[in-house]
Amino acid sequence: MKGFRVCPIGSLTVNLIRSVRLLAALIVVTLPASAAYAQDGPAGPAASVNPLIGTGTGPGGPGNLFPGPTVPFGMVQLSPDTEDNGYGYHYGDTSINGFSMTHMSGVGCSNGGDVFFTATTGPIHTTRDDLGSPYSHTMETAKAGYYQVRLLEGNINAELSATNHTGIARFTFPAGQAANFLLPISQTLSYTTGASVEVVGDNQMQGYVENRAFCGTQQSMKVYFVITFSKPFSSYGTWTGARYGGPGKISAGGRAAEQSSHEGWVGSYATWSAESHPQTITAKIAISYVDLAGAENNLKTEAAGKDFDAIRSDAESAWNKELGAIDISGGSESQRAVFYTALYHSLLMPSIFSDADGRYLGFDGQIHTVPEGHPMYANYSGWDIYRSEVPLLAMIEPQRMEDMAQSVVLMYQQGGWVGRWPAANIYTNVMAGSPLSVALATAWLDGLHGFDMKAGWEGMFKDATEAPAPGHTYKGEEGIDWINKIHYVPDDKIGYGSVSQMQEDAVAYASLYRLAVDLGKTGDAKTLYDRTLYYRNVFDQEDRFFRPRKADGEWVPRFDPAQDGHGFIEGSGWHYQWLEPEDIAWVVKAMGRDLFNQRLTEFFNYPVPSWYGKYYNPYNETDLEAPFLFNFSGRPWETQRVVRRVLNENYTDDANGIPGNDDCGEMSSWAVLSMMGIYSVDPASLAYELTGPMFPKAVIHLHQPYVGRTFTITASGAAAEAAYIQSVTLDGKKQAQNWISFKDISSGGTLRFAVGSSANHAWGSSPADAPPSLSDVQP
């Protein structure tokens, strides 16, 4: 049972004392968190951010988001952990084990939790069961760049903030109690394989923890750390023991401890003598993936001479600057919280991987250096973020997007391949396709040319046409040899999502085709156009579903399109019949417009949001584009209806307010774009489909290299029930098409909607009004 811990020996006396302590803590704190702890928060858009959104368990499963402080795209993502292994924090848990420096935002596998620490009072206890403390949400505050919670076990107030490479923790301990800082360095959220800790002088700890990478990857990485304290400790020590055993050996005055296997359990502690008044201890913690010197320099560069309040203020200012890329006017307080929190979550990852001095550990295991002002980024949830987060970042963060693209190029140059879900400097092989090729193609076609496309093209074309050598840590596109031979992925040879593997590959091929045309690579463009059309080899003209096929050409028998996983990754044939975003016009034609609209209407005819085999799944990326496909089939008012329904039902201002795993900002970025009334089904096409905006006005601030300075979206008549477009003008000219181009956005201008509560069946519904598709033109 999580929350209140039970004494191993079942001592009634011990439990009674603990209960009295908890009661005393509750009596001391009589004001709710909003009054007692929430100091004046940030002004500007950061004031609307609620990092607790998405930390609960909604109908689609946990969002797996962390509520702790970070700065935009920061290496440090410091947060409380309520579990020993997994994602970190869950709103429904009743105890906090401690705090750790690394987390991934909303992913579906255990990860991070490196450099774990906590605070206690009284005697030193070091077993895993001794670490946690009950807490209450009434004594918890989460803001952009700041987190606070009262640990009820010792009546300790904990406050956190962060810079790019450092975290800062301010603990306020009660009077009359010895104050302890515990560093159980063996504790991570994944699988610890080694650790080392050293106590230096009378106010510093340092070392490293080695932990396996994201999602069960067998490869591990080291995170180095340096911790300094605001005042000398009175005593200190280390401990060693077994992870799953009883109390280990505490070495009072010990200076060092090491762990060489997963079964070990080591750490260090510092104690400050009790005082007659509450005492505050502040710890500054810097990390590096390179070495100890990197952590020391990160601490010196970003935190030296700054107290907690200064670092918190800097973090809040950083968030106001980044969130200020989009100014929203109107809407309810709750809608603004949903929007700006979604934008906040869209600006967490990919995260900075290089140190303050520019050094980073490459995919070749060697130390490299990036030019000043151009960080190395890591942790790309490729299969997820190519859909809407990459287009959003390219729009509002062009310089960062160029650096992210260059980071992918460097990955190829050092590791030999463009990965699809790289974590730190490790290929994880999670998910399918070549999504980072889509990302780089989108960035370049958007006009972002501040990265090495010559090397990038080489890596992307290689990934689209070749298989890695046996034994390479990167596995490449699943079934690539079969694609080259029979032009699809056979289900009897490749068991993991054979159909969706081919579909995802086709999305990448189409993006690279458009890029090849832009680069003047005529021969490569023809090759990639032809490869894109391979998706048609898994479309059954009889039942008009994409479905699994065997290597001999026969369809897999007894196919049920509503069966999850039957040739598809995290979805069914019903979900994946819409996943051909680059060529929806062909799908409409092949299926027949009437049947297409009939199925798509039925797809959204679900009673309540849930995991369905036949209906729209708002909790995963497999069908995120589906609400916008009515724009291609002559019924754009249905897009307007279902998009508003999805937003209203699944994006709310509470802990359950993000559908399913946020996947590093993907689900959140879908909401950001949709709430503004724009979305790109096929980012490399540069087309943005239109739907009814949620707010009366949104101003997107543009930056170089874009020509425009602002792109303004207005919606007269905008209201909760006014989802339907009545008319649109672009820069004063009537807009009959139900889409605009990215160039319309990046050039600056004004997009004006008139919206209402009744559908207008005339606007945007003719075939000439539909967005472009690959098969509209020949190569």
247 to 6, 145, 261, 628: CA distances (angstroms): 15, 36, 18, 58
Give me the percent of the chain exceeding a pLDDT of 70: 94
**What is the Cα–Cα distance from 348 to 103, expressed in whole angstroms?**
10
**Residue 270: which residues within 8 A CB-CB, separation 6 or more?**
180, 181, 199, 205, 229, 233, 235, 236
DSSP secondary structure letters along 212-268:
E-STT-S-EEEEEEEEEESS--SEEEEEEEETTSS--EEEET--EEEE-STTEEEEE
Give, rounded to a whole angstrom, the gap between the first and last alpha carbons of the chain: 62
Closest by CA position to 759, among listed 723, 715, 721: 723
d(CA 476, CA 418): 9
Per the CB < 8 A criterion, the answer to whether 532 and 608 are in contact is no
pLDDT of 5:
27
Please give the mean pLDDT across all residues of the chain: 93
DSSP E strand stretches across 363-514? 367-369, 377-378
What sign does the CA torsion over 118, 124, 128, 133 have?
Answer: negative
Nearest to 688 by CA among 700, 674, 702: 674
Confidence grade of residue 59 (pLDDT, cut at 50, 70, 90): low
DSSP state of 227: E
Does residue 209 carry a pLDDT above 50? Answer: yes
Cα distance between residue 459 and residue 452, in whole Å: 11
Give residue for tokens 């502040």: 282
Is the Cα dihedral 540, 545, 546, 547 positive or negative?
negative
CB neighbour list of residue 233: distance below 8 Å, 6 or more residues apart? 181, 202, 203, 270, 271, 272
Q: Cα-Cα-Cα-Cα dihedral of 615, 621, 626, 629, to 10°?
A: -170
Q: How far apart are CA 114 and CA 227, in angstroms?
A: 13
Residues 108-136: what's their mean pLDDT? Answer: 93
Residue range 371-425, pLDDT digits in tens: 999 999 999 999 999 999 999 999 999 999 999 999 999 999 999 999 999 999 9
Alpha-carbon separation of residue 16 from 10, 104, 123, 178, 559 (angstroms) = 11, 39, 17, 21, 61
Tell me how far apart the alpha carbons of residues 67 and 79 are, in angstroms, rounded to a whole number: 6
Sorting pLDDT into bands at 50, 70 and 90, what band is 35?
very low
| Residue 10 reports pLDDT greater than 70 | no
Token pair in block for residue 225: 């750390």
The SS3 of residue 397 is coil
Q: Which phi-psi region, left, alpha or beta, contains residue 365 (left: φ > 0; alpha: ψ -120 to 50)?
A: left
Angle at 336 between CA 331 and CA 340, to 5 degrees: 145
3-state secondary structure 128-153: HHHCCEECCHHHEEEECCEEEEEECC
Q: Omega before 350 cis (within 30°)?
A: yes
Name the least confident of 109-113, 506-510, 555-559, 764-768.
109-113
* Spatial distance between the Cα atoms of 184 and 83, rounded to a whole number of angstroms: 14
Per-residue pLDDT for 8 more than 80? Answer: no
Q: Is the pLDDT of residue 57 over 90?
A: no
Cβ neighbours of 374 (radius 10 Å):
17
User: How far apart, in whole angstroms, are the C-alpha atoms of residue 590 and residue 546?
Assistant: 11
Q: What is the pLDDT of residue 41?
A: 57
Query: Contact, 423 vs 415, CB < 8 A?
Result: no
pLDDT on residue 592: 98
Rounded Cα–Cα distance for residues 184 and 556 (Å)? 52
pLDDT of residue 33: 33
State pLDDT tens for residues 305-344. Answer: 999 999 999 999 999 999 999 999 999 999 999 999 999 9
Q: What's the residue count for the chain? A: 779
> Which residues partner with 725 through β-bridges?
755
Whether residue 514 contacts residue 441, with contact meaning beta carbons closer than 8 Å, is answered with: yes
Q: How confident is the model at residue 14 (pLDDT cuts 50, 70, 90)?
A: very low
With residue 344 as reference, give the H or E element that holds it. helix 333-346
pLDDT at residue 236, as a whole number: 98
Phi and psi based region of residue 612 (left: phi greater than 0; alpha: psi -120 to 50; beta: remaining): beta
- For tokens 């249905």, the residue is 638
CB distance 75 to 290 below 8 Å: no
Could you give the CA distance from residue 418 to residue 451 in angstroms, rounded to a whole number? 15
Give the span between the Cα atoms of 435 and 751, in whole angstroms. 30
130 beta partners: none
Q: Report the alpha-carbon distance of residue 362 to residue 410 in Å, rounded.
A: 8
Find out whether 582 and 506 touch, Cβ atoms under 8 Å: yes
Which candidate, 28, 20, 13, 7, places its Cα nearest to that of 173?
28
Q: How far apart are CA 214 and CA 209, in angstroms?
A: 15
Q: What is the dihedral of CA 438, 444, 449, 450, to 10 degrees?
A: -30
Handedness of CA 741, 746, 747, 752 (dihedral sign): positive
Q: In angstroms, rounded to a whole number, what is the distance separating the alpha carbons of residues 649 and 664?
A: 21
* Amino acid identity for residue 626 in this structure: A
Q: Residue 724: enclosing H or E segment and its boundaries?
A: strand 724-730
Radius of gyration of the chain (CA): 27
Residue 635's CB: how many other CB atoms inside 10 A?
A: 21
User: Quick one: pLDDT at residue 718?
Assistant: 83
Torsion of CA 290, 296, 300, 305, to 10 degrees: 140
pLDDT at 2 over 60: no
What pLDDT was estimated at residue 40? 57
pTM (predicted TM-score): 0.94
For residue 549, give the DSSP letter: B
In single-letter form, the type of residue at position 369 comes to T
pLDDT at 346 over 70: yes
Instruction: Write out the two tokens for 17.
Output: 């004392």
Q: Label residue 531 by pLDDT band (50, 70, 90).
A: very high
**DSSP run (H or E) holding 678:** strand 678-679
Residue 342 and residue 671 in contact, taking contact as beta carbons nearer than 8 Å: yes
On the question of pLDDT at 642 being above 90, the answer is: yes
- Distances in Å between the alpha carbon of 166 and those of 81, 103, 162, 294, 625? 18, 14, 6, 11, 38
User: Strand ranges (DSSP E) for 683-723?
Assistant: 687-690, 697-701, 710-716
Per-residue pLDDT, 214? 80
Per-residue confidence (pLDDT) for residue 12, from 0 to 100? 34
pLDDT digits (tens, 9 = 90+) for 132-170: 999 999 999 999 999 999 999 999 999 999 999 999 999
Residue 245 has pLDDT above 80, yes or no: no
CA distances from 466 to 383, 406, 531, 685, 718 (A): 19, 22, 13, 25, 50
d(CA 30, CA 215): 42
Is residue 656 over pLDDT 90? yes
Name the burial class of residue 138, with classes exposed (0-12), middle (13-18) and buried (19+) by CB atoms within 10 angstroms of its CB: middle
Amino acid 42: pLDDT: 63
pLDDT tens sequence across 212-235:
988 878 899 999 999 999 999 999
Cβ(714)–Cβ(697) under 8 Å?
yes
The predicted pLDDT at position 22 comes to 43
Q: Rounded CA gap, 132 and 137, in Å?
A: 16
pLDDT (tens digit, 9 = 90+) per residue, 588-611? 999 999 999 999 999 999 999 988
- In this prediction, residue 304 has a pLDDT band, given cuts at 50, 70 and 90, of very high
Under 8 Å between Cβ of 114 and 102: yes
Contact 28, 176 (CB under 8 A): no
Helix axes 389-396, 333-346, angle to 10 degrees: 90
**Encoded tokens for 269:** 């502690």
DSSP annotation of 6: P
Nearest 5°: CA angle at 449, between 446 and 450? 130
